[in-house]
């Protein structure tokens, strides 16, 4: 029932899968919690395929039970074809779910459809690949326009994969030591990469605050400032705090701002665990107080569609759409304007998003520079990335794609630009 409840709450809402799993999975034994995560993650990654498999056999009823019944069928197909669950168990558990949900009159239908699929096996439409079904058409269209048909296909395939476990070490000089202790790979950019599926809290060094979980792409922006020690650096939209910890670890007087008190509580807890400090401000980063301290530098990881993180957050495929993405554009613009208000002349502004959409990255920076001739780009160089140059654009920005570092497990999609305020 928790899997069904979560799917129902995901559609069309701002709440994320991780938030719902925390809410609904609280108190569950770890085995049940892991199964719930796997079931929902697999359903969301394969949702297009699942609906295509069901389409010839299942026609939703024309009543208010339609959405619930469809989600029950989806969970059944997931267990039949995309999880290591016995076919008998998959059918029986789905029939029982329909019964528990009070959909007694559809139990025979659920049983018949799943028994038929069990007999006839998985069938996709001729000439259609799984990525064409699982990545929504609006998203494929944006990626094709931005990157071309071939790269769009590769990005789509990579986005449907599973991400590795990446960690950032508090003390940079200890990276090689911790890579060896944890049995991980030290990436050129300084991130340690491990195989996913491990229980994070049980790994060496976690309880001692030696490191934190942070995707390799997300860890790059905070490393690109020219100066840290004793400088006042804002981390706007700071939660969950990975970048805040990076800045504090390098000696910056860090001010972490986020409008979510609950998410900032997590930032505080993370800082406390790793033994670092920062000023934490609860509030809308588009409207900081008039007496807010002036900044030597600003890191703006703007709220976005997060389409670069589908590997880690497959619920984006269900929750996100073009209209919601476009509604974020004016917020990103307001945040850039706020960053300008607090930034000292000579200071650096790093703007980044975990989106693959150019509207939220390249176009935002281009527009900001057109309206602010007192800013200029400061190109990012391979030397700053440990020699890694795969994602550096001709403009000196980062456009990281899920297909980058493919031989090491790929990356989250990310965009990053570094700007300098040359005059008031």
pLDDT tens column, 224-257: 999 999 999 999 999 999 999 999 999 999 999 9
Query: How many whole angstroms separate alpha carbon 414 and alpha carbon 214?
Result: 13
- If asked whether residues 107 and 220 sit together in one domain, one would say no
Residues in CB range of 269: below 8 A, 6 or more apart: none
Say if CB 401 and CB 375 are below 8 A apart.
no
SS3 state at 351: strand
- If asked whether residues 261 and 406 sit together in one domain, one would say yes
Residue 195 belongs to some domain of the structure: no
Query: How many whole angstroms separate alpha carbon 206 and alpha carbon 314?
Result: 26
Say if CB 17 and CB 315 are below 8 A apart.
yes
pTM equals 0.94
Q: What's the structural domain count of the chain?
A: 2
Q: How confident is the model at residue 209 (pLDDT cuts 50, 70, 90)?
A: very high
Q: Is residue 387 exposed (0-12), middle (13-18) or buried (19+ Cβ within 10 Å)?
A: exposed
Range of the structural domain that residue 93 is part of: 2-120
SS (H, E, C) 311-336: CCCCCHHHHCCHHHHHHHHHHHHHHH
- If asked whether residues 277 and 385 sit together in one domain, one would say yes
CA distances from 366 to 41, 178, 258 (A): 36, 40, 25
- If asked whether residues 417 and 271 sit together in one domain, one would say yes
pLDDT of residue 280: 96
Residues 122-153 have pLDDT tens digits of 777 777 899 999 999 999 999 999 999 999 99
Q: Is 387 left (phi over 0), alpha (psi -120 to 50) or beta?
A: left
Q: The tokens of 144 are what?
A: 């094709």
Residue 191 belongs to some domain of the structure: no
Domain termination site, one of 120, 147, 175 = 120
> Which residues participate in the annotated binding site for S-adenosyl-L-methionine?
237-243, 258, 284, 301
Residue 323 belongs to some domain of the structure: yes
Residue 161 belongs to some domain of the structure: no
What CATH number should be reported for the domain holding residue 252? 3.40.50.150
Beta bridge partners of 253: 232
Q: The tokens of 409 are what?
A: 């497990």
Domain termination site, one of 99, 120, 141 = 120
Is residue 354 part of the annotated active site? The answer reads yes
Place of tokens 């495929």: 317
Q: How far does the chain reach from its first CA to its final CA, in angstroms?
A: 58
Domain termination site, one of 80, 105, 120 = 120
What CATH number should be reported for the domain holding residue 30? 1.10.940.10
Annotated catalytic residue, options 304, 352, 354, 416: 354
- If asked whether residues 224 and 368 sit together in one domain, one would say yes
Residue 312 belongs to some domain of the structure: yes
């Amino acid at each position: 029932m928790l899997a069904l409840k979560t799917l129902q709450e995901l559609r069309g809402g701002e709440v994320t899968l991780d938030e719902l799993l925390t809410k609904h999975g609280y108190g569950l034994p770890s085995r049940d919690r892991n199964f719930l995560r796997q079931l929902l993650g697999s359903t969301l990654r394969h949702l297009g395929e699942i609906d295509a498999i069901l389409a010839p056999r299942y026609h939703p009823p024309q009543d208010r039970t339609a959405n619930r019944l469809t989600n029950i069928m989806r969970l059944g197909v997931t267990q039949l074809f995309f999880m290591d669950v016995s076919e008998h168990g998959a059918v029986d558990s789905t029939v029982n779910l329909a019964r528990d949900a009070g959909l007694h009159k559809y139990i025979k239908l659920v049983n018949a459809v799943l028994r038929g699929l069990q007999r006839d096996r998985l069938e996709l439409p001729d000439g259609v690949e799984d990525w064409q079904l699982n990545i929504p058409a609006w998203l494929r269209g944006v990626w094709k326009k931005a990157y071309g048909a071939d790269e769009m296909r590769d990005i789509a395939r990579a986005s449907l994969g599973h991400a590795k476990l990446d960690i950032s070490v508090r003390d940079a000089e200890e990276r090689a030591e911790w890579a060896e202790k944890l049995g991980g790979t030290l990436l050129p950019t300084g991130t340690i990469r491990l195989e996913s599926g491990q229980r994070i809290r049980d790994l060496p060094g976690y309880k001692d605050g030696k490191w934190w979980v942070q995707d390799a792409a997300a860890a790059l922006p905070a490393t690109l400032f020219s100066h840290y020690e004793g400088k006042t650096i804002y981390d706007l939209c700071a939660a969950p705090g990975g970048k805040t910890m990076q800045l504090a670890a390098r000696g910056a007087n860090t001010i972490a701002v986020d409008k979510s008190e609950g998410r900032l509580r997590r930032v505080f807890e993370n800082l406390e665990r790793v033994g670092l400090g920062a000023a934490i401000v609860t509030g809308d980063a588009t409207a900081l107080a008039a007496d807010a301290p002036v900044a030597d530098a600003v890191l703006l990881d703007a709220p976005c569609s997060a389409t670069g993180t589908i590997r880690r957050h497959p619920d984006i495929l269900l929750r996100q759409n073009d209209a919601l993405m476009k509604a974020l554009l004016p917020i990103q613009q307001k945040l850039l304007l706020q960053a300008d208000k607090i930034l000292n002349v000579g200071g650096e502004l790093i703007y980044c998003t975990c989106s693959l959409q150019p509207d939220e990255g390249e176009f935002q920076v281009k527009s900001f520079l057109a309206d602010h001739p007192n800013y200029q780009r400061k190109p990012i160089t391979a030397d700053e990335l440990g020699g890694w140059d795969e994602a550096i654009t001709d403009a000196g920005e980062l456009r990281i794609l899920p297909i980058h570092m493919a031989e090491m497990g790929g990356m989250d999609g990310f965009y990053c630009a570094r700007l300098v305020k040359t005059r008031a």
